Amino acid sequence: GQNIDQPTEMTATEGAIVQINCTYQTSGFNGLFWYQQHAGEAPTFLSYNVLDGLEEKGRFSSFLSRSKGYSYLLLKELQMKDSASYLCASMDSNYQLIWGAGTKLIIKP
Amino acid sequence: GAVVSQHPSWVICKSGTSVKIECRSLDFQATTMFWYRQFPKQSLMLMATSNEGSKATYEQGVEKDKFLINHASLTLSTLTVTSAHPEDSSFYICSARGLQGGPMQETQYFGPGTRLLVL
């Protein structure tokens, strides 16, 4: 079956670093996506990895290991506005996204 | 780039009426559009996938006669909730994916969502 696992909730401190992990099992693989969703709003695209390694984009970085079926989203210099849900999604062989349930990130001052 | 709009952003209607929601890709052509529904504090649930010029593919459990989807052009898809009932009250979000072979062929870009409240 197809499955995406990510923690339900994480808490971190303003200014710190947090890593949100995601493991996936899908029928075929055409890339791993991370989206950010603030409460009451639609998701916004953060990153796309299709090759192994780390992709850095400002304060956010995303890592992929295809052999391990594993990805993480790294957020540095956390700000209060980073409080949101972070959705991991794997694209299967039919180019369909299989969504994780999301990780709610709580930032404390 | 990659802007997707949705209209309206809020709808309040009486039970039994039909509601149409529009999803437009403003600066790219989207061969595929997706319609999601999200209940409070729950995950995104894919309702259907629509390709321009063909019938939508509905997920299991989603009534195609109740949720009518039309994808008449590369920039517009509509979702009509027919005979809406209070249990249809939800946050409806569309997303669009670019042309195959183009730079945005994989990424889904989301519209801002439509909140539907059926009284």
- Alpha-carbon gap, residue B15 to B88, rounded angstroms: 10
Distance of CA A29 to the CA centre of its chain: 16
Going from the first residue of chain B to its last (119 residues), give the mean pLDDT of each consecutive group of 10, the final group possibly shorter: 90 96 91 92 90 89 94 92 96 86 70 96
Q: Which residue of A has its CA nearest to B105?
A: A95
A99 and B108: CB-CB below 8 Å?
no
Give the residue from chain B lying closest to A36, CA to CA.
Answer: B110
- B contact residues 29-88, partner A, Cβ 8 Å cutoff: 43-44, 46, 49
> Taking residues A57-66, what's their average pLDDT?
96
Interchain CB distance below 8 Å, A41 and B112: yes
DSSP B20-46: EEEEEESSS-EEEEEEEEE-TTS--EE
CB of A109 less than 8 A from some CB of B: no
